[in-house]
Structure 1
Amino acid sequence: MKQTIIHNAIVINEGQRFRGGVIIEGEFIAKIFRGDLPESQMEHAELIDAEERWLIPGAIDDQVHFREPGLTHKGEIATESMAALAGGVTSYMEMPNTNPQSTTQEELEKKYARAAEVSAVNYSFYMGATNNNLDEVLKTDPRKICGIKVFMGSSTGNMLVDDQETLGEIFKNAPTLVATHCEDEAIIKRNIEIYRAKYGEVVPISRHPKIRSAEACFKSSSKAVELASKYDTRLHVLHISTADEMVLFQPGPVKDKKITAEVCVHHLWFEEKDYAAYGTRIKWNPAVKSADDRKALWEALLDDRIDVIATDHAPHTLDEKSHSYFKAPSGGPLVQHSVTAMFEFVLQGKLTAEKVVEKMCHAPADLFRIDRRGYIREGYYADLVLLNPNKSWVVCPENIIYKCGWSPFEGTTFNTQVSKTFINGQLAYDRGHIEPSVRGKRLEFNY
């Protein structure tokens, strides 16, 4: 069996850091060691000198849109998973609002088959709920599928579930975790009417957080929490964006919770004033909101009311994003830059490297009960990332891998760079080179 040794690394894992490394045998971590490895163990192995770079578990992104099938002019499983690989994201969970939508078990399995052919990193796909597919939703196998996605507010693809009886049945009978997009549709429609009456079709992008308002978010999120509390459902509220919603969540270890929350990189990075510079490039649903909202998200992240950091990676072409407010789609590409963006905050002193690893690696693994991933542990899959914490680089079109070819971070200087990414023990990304033969595996879940 092939043996690879990563040595002379600064290992950051489970709240600790130490100089040492790992021995990889086949797909798995066979040994973790501190200090120097005896030369006798190096004789027949491939040696990788980490040169004191940081060794972390691969990040797990619990919310991406890779646009395949049906929307492949924006992105594909192949292209976006390569972007994830280059960004240190070794596993992803992809959303059902493609064309056709993943609202039957048959369509869902087609995505898994395609990912087995082309995905550069590990993968899972959500089963999508609608107002009339409850029978299909309840067939979901929790050992093989990450969760059930419920749009409690409409977004790209319009899979809104607004039938109260159906919502109740989903929350009552869900065989696995329920992940929700929470924005109240009635409030949003009311706000659209107000701003359309004022501006016509040329509503300024700065009004986006007023249309998809904090009120709309809180009303929907509180409804989801109410249903989950009533039926004892495992609920994960995606892309929280407001200060008001923070009262809905409790601090503590994710493994002890049934109701959890996710924050996205863009809600931690941008705030309302940034619409002036970025325009529709930072149009997301839920919207980037005020400086006070951003501050509250940071506070909740640090005190563990927010459990996971993800991206909601959702590529559109620049031509699509250049349209006027109502026609420009919401979403943007982020998965290649999420880890480096969060480590930029580490360098700024906003949080520790250990906290980033907790929120992007350990917590998603615990929350979704992923089998043997998200940690550097003996017997776990060797999904590993080497980071250079002293490497400045600028995001530009020449180093963007997304099929859409742009990033809201274009022109940004990051001071941490992904050097190498290992997928199931294989070196899949090495300083700009992607190994095209490497394929990820389907995630499995411990139920």
Structure 2
Amino acid sequence: MSKLLIRNARLVNEGRITETDVLIEDGFIAQIKSGLSDAGVQQTIDAKGQYLLPGVIDDQVHFREPGLTHKATIHSESRAGVAGGITSFMEMPNTVPNALTQELLADKYAIAARTSLANYSFFMGASNNNLDEVLRTDPGTVCGIKVFMGSSTGNMLVDNEQVLEGLFRQSPMLIATHCEDEATIRSNTERYRSDYGDNATASLHPLIRNEEACLKSSSLAVELARRHNARLHVLHISTADELALFSNDKPLTEKRITAEVCVHHLWFDADDYERLGNLIKCNPAIKAPHHKDALLAGLLDDRLDIIATDHAPHTWAEKQAPYWQAPSGLPLVQHPLLLMLDFVTQGKLSIETMVRKMCHAPADCFQINRRGYVREGYWADLVLVDTEQPMTVSKKNILYQCGWSPIEGHTFGASITHTIVSGELVYREGEFLTDRAGQRMMFNR
């Protein structure tokens, strides 16, 4: 049996911080207590002074494979995620071709099985004409159904009322939605094209993809879910206006409607377009500063359940195009844990809350089997953090295939020193020790 022992760690888990040892055997957490014996242990890590966290579970990423591998691959972006403390990810279906059949979905799982450093799951995509195919999805082996209730790429905009009704009435599993109202966005686009023409800049983005577009679409999703008692998860909430749609009167495990906030909507605001322009152009848009403050409040009072990234890389050249042509999305999967640790340092949230929202809550929300917590018998997905070792983001240490980040030049107050994926030490002090360690996630449904 392979054994790995972590000694003297400050474990942050289930609302507590305790100094302890953790023994890992054959992929799983075998023991959690101080003074564990190193008999038969192949490797020991002395984590004195460091925080030991459950691995981050990112429930929304775009890794671009297949079909868009000039931007990224499952291997390149899972590698970047592991370096940032992400041990598990759920990837979106708007690759090329869109994952709209069970066979295309299986193709993505096969790629990940060969190349992913992190644990993985892939959403089945919905369109206006594949309801029967969507309903064939296995709830025990697939994280959820993704519905774009607003603009998307390819054939993935679902705006047929009968199809939406069918999805929410018949789906036995979690439905994750991107909510922006297409008609509102088209109307705003026509207006601002007329007003600005080729002189448009990214500062118009939150006016085109505005609060009204978000609220109208999110309200429809919530109304459908309530009417059919569907399990709804609304992705990347970006406005204060939408918070009233979500409740905090039940534990997460009892909610039928949940919501997520992404790190960029907590970190950036509309004032940053002047400095960063298209680099922070994303959908839904980063909006005025008061939304950022409201989203943090909604996270803290549990109206918003999960912190994620919506990692969506594009090449530098693509982002340099004029506003109307520049694609939406930004690369984030290497840095969400460090971004939120800066929030901890600033007193905006506790480290226990950060772990709950980035590790425990995704596991509970998606009913992931034996992940998201540091518990005996669970998969050993673990991250060690040194809060006394600052790290500055630069071209030299960015691991995204696209090679850039909107937070270049920022110095974090902490560093990720070790990442363990499914019991295997994958990353140590800037070095990758293997090219593949991820396992397919399973779900208790």
For normalisation by structure 2, the TM-score amounts to: 0.98
Q: Report how far residue 435 of structure 1 moved.
A: 1.6
* Rounded Cα–Cα distance in structure 2 between residues aligned with 1:352 and 1:382: 23
Q: Indicate how the Cα distance of structure 1 residues 264 and 234 shifts in structure 2: closer, same or farther if over 3 A, else same.
A: same
Identity %: 57
Q: Report how far residue 159 of structure 1 moved.
A: 1.4
Residue 242 (1) aligns with residue 239 (2): yes
Q: In structure 2, which of residues 185, 192, 197 is the aligned counterpart of residue 188 of structure 1?
A: 185
**Kept after mapping to 1: 8 A contact 2:98/2:155:** no
Residue 416 (1) aligns with residue 411 (2): no
* Rounded Cα–Cα distance in structure 2 between residues aligned with 1:210 and 1:14: 40
**Kept after mapping to 2: 8 A contact 1:141/1:175:** no
Residue 150 (1) aligns with residue 140 (2): no
- For residue 58 of structure 2, what is the amino acid of its counterpart? D
Residue 29 (1) aligns with residue 25 (2): no
* Rounded Cα–Cα distance in structure 1 between residues aligned with 2:70 and 2:438: 23
Q: Which residue of 1 aligns with 2:367?
A: 369
Q: Which residue of 2 aligns with 1:43?
A: 39
- For residue 393 of structure 2, what is the amino acid of its counterpart? V
Q: Cα deviations across residues 342-362 of structure 1 (Å, max 9, x unaligned)?
A: 111001110000011000000
Q: Report how far residue 309 of structure 1 moved.
A: 0.3
Q: Report how far residue 158 of structure 1 moved.
A: 5.4
* Partner SS state of residue 374, structure 2: coil
- For residue 120 of structure 2, what is the amino acid of its counterpart? Y
Q: Which residue of 1 aligns with 2:336?
A: 338
Q: In structure 2, which of residues 179, 194, 199 is the aligned counterpart of residue 197 of structure 1?
A: 194
**Kept after mapping to 2: 8 A contact 1:156/1:329:** no
Q: Cα deviations across residues 27-76 of structure 1 (Å, max 9, x unaligned)?
A: 1001111xx415xx223212210022000000000000000000000000
Alignment of 1:214-229 (within 5 A): 214-229=211-226
Q: Cα deviations across residues 359-402 of structure 1 (Å, max 9, x unaligned)?
A: 00000000000000000000000000000111111100110111
Q: Report how far residue 439 of structure 1 moved.
A: 1.9
Q: Report how far residue 437 of structure 1 moved.
A: 4.0
Q: Which residue of 2 aligns with 1:383?
A: 381
* Rounded Cα–Cα distance in structure 1 between residues aligned with 2:187 and 2:196: 15
Q: Cα deviations across residues 239-296 of structure 1 (Å, max 9, x unaligned)?
A: 0000000000001421110100000000000001000001000001000001111111
Q: Which residue of 2 aligns with 1:63?
A: 60
Residue 11 (1) aligns with residue 30 (2): no
* Partner SS state of residue 399, structure 1: coil
* Partner SS state of residue 103, structure 2: helix
**Kept after mapping to 2: 8 A contact 1:19/1:52:** no
Q: In structure 1, which of residues 176, 179, 184 is the aligned counterpart of residue 176 of structure 2?
A: 179
Q: Which residue of 2 aligns with 1:94?
A: 91
Q: Cα deviations across residues 89-148 of structure 1 (Å, max 9, x unaligned)?
A: 000000000001100000000000010000001000000000000110000000000000
* Rounded Cα–Cα distance in structure 1 between residues aligned with 2:143 and 2:93: 12
Q: Report how far residue 438 of structure 1 moved.
A: 3.4
Q: How many correspondences in the alignment?
A: 443
* Rounded Cα–Cα distance in structure 1 between residues aligned with 2:133 and 2:360: 31
* Rounded Cα–Cα distance in structure 2 between residues aligned with 1:102 and 1:44: 45
- For residue 170 of structure 2, what is the amino acid of its counterpart? N
**Kept after mapping to 1: 8 A contact 2:115/2:436:** no
Q: Which residue of 2 aligns with 1:425?
A: 423
* Partner SS state of residue 30, structure 1: strand
**Kept after mapping to 2: 8 A contact 1:282/1:408:** yes
* Rounded Cα–Cα distance in structure 2 between residues aligned with 1:338 and 1:439: 21
For normalisation by structure 1, the TM-score amounts to: 0.98
